[in-house]
Structure 1
Amino acid sequence: QPGDGWIDCDCGRRHWGLNGASGVLLARRDAVTGKVTHVVMQHRALWSAEGGTWGIPGGATADGESAIEGALRESYEEANITPEDIEVVGAYREDHGNWAYTTVFAFEKPGHTVTPRANDDESMEIEWVPIDEVPNRRLLTAMRTDWPRFRARLDAIAEEPAR
């Protein structure tokens, strides 16, 4: 697909995605309290970069796509997350200069049920993980670094008044 490929990053590492990359951090809220209870996590295939770790479904941004469009496409391709069932509520862009990764924050829409599943060979499994169990997983390096900030952001967004 246009946009697939490795790039030598200004940070000294190689990253996937000639136009950058993005993924969806999808959360589920308790119907009564509104608090975040679960997030969708991807157990990455052993052959992939940092294989065997847990992260979020995502990948390279295609030519002409926005980071959010790419994240929504990738999360459907990899995890069967349908855009109609989720509400995008924010994004965090980690910018390395010549490459960036955008984490798109989303919630399952009220009255909708997202049933994630591995749609391709990039995942060993895709599942709803209880929010408090995420740090106990063997996380992708970037996810391990960013998780405390992501958790705080999800909790803060969940506490905002309904739009």
Structure 2
Amino acid sequence: MSDSGVAYWGRYGAAGLLLRAPRPDGTPAVLLQHRALWSHQGGTWGLPGGARDSHETPEQTAVRESSEEAGLSAERLEVRATVVTAEVCGVDDTHWTYTTVVADAGELLDTVPNRESAELRWVAENEVADLPLHPGFAASWQRLRTAPATVPLARCDERRQRLPRTIQIEAGVFLWCTPGDADQAPSPLGRRISSLL
């Protein structure tokens, strides 16, 4: 419980999975959970996630919760980054955090919703803000979004196999990188992106 009396779910904090995958046109889609009406903030859209167990890292929590709530297999996910998107100081010197775990999948994975979900949907990243978002997710969405970046690569360059994907170029700054032709002009961040592939 916070100093202001607001309760937060998870004694050890909570975490959610922000999973991206390429759409047929190569642009990113985000897996969103339409929360069941009976749940906290029911009827809003957010990320699969939940309370951390005492022995878990945020990454482990997010992957476990995405398996429970969306039927996703950990082997199909590639964790790219973690971002603490909410922090609260509580009574008795407690400290609560919500960590967003940013991950990619190589394709739009099939999902299996559990009772906490009215629906699971892959949503084009540029359409996420059009939905009625969970307030906590809405507050952090702008800093979790990606900007598009094309990486000029030769057809035989093995790095093409690692794209498209999310890259964090600095704390809280994300790009959705797709392969381009070798003769394309590189983006201003081209060298930095290439070093991270």
TM-score by length of 2: 0.70
Match of 1:65 among 50, 56, 60: 56
Matched residue SS, 1:101: strand
In the other structure, the counterpart of 1:148 is: 142
Contact 2:21 2:108 in 1 (8 A): no
Identity %: 36
Contact 2:30 2:122 in 1 (8 A): yes
Q: Unaligned regions of 5+ residues in structure 2, if any? A: 90-94, 148-165, 168-173, 178-192
In the other structure, the counterpart of 1:104 is: 101
1:1-163 alignment, distance < 5 Å: 8-10=1-3, 12-29=5-22, 36-93=27-84, 94-97=86-89, 98-109=95-106, 113-118=108-113, 120-152=114-146, 156-159=174-177, 160-161=193-194, 163=197
Q: Following the alignment from structure 2 to structure 1, what is the Cα–Cα distance between the partners of residues 124 and 23?
A: 12
What is the Cα-based RMSD across aligned positions, in Å? 2.1
Point out the structure with max Rg over C-alpha.
2
Q: Unaligned regions of 5+ residues in structure 1, if any? A: 1-7
Q: Give how far 1:113 is off.
A: 5.0
Q: Following the alignment from structure 1 to structure 2, what is the Cα–Cα distance between the partners of residues 10 and 66?
A: 25
Distance 1:15 1:130, change over 3 A: same
Distance 1:10 1:83, change over 3 A: farther
Distance 1:11 1:87, change over 3 A: farther
Q: Give how far 1:31 is off.
A: 7.3
Number of residues of Structure 1 aligned to a counterpart in Structure 2: 151
Contact 1:117 1:127 in 2 (8 A): no
Distance 1:12 1:152, change over 3 A: farther
Matched residue SS, 1:22: strand
Q: Give how far 1:82 is off.
A: 1.1
Q: Following the alignment from structure 1 to structure 2, what is the Cα–Cα distance between the partners of residues 122 and 30?
A: 26
Contact 2:23 2:29 in 1 (8 A): no
Q: Following the alignment from structure 1 to structure 2, what is the Cα–Cα distance between the partners of residues 90 and 60?
A: 19
Q: Following the alignment from structure 2 to structure 1, what is the Cα–Cα distance between the partners of residues 134 and 127?
A: 15
Could you give the per-residue CA deviations for residues 56-90 of structure 1, whole angstroms, max 9, x where no partner exists? Answer: 00001112111110110001100112111111000
Tell me which amino acid in the other structure corresponds to 1:88: V
Matched residue SS, 1:78: helix
Tell me which amino acid in the other structure corresponds to 1:28: A
Q: Following the alignment from structure 1 to structure 2, what is the Cα–Cα distance between the partners of residues 131 and 11?
A: 34
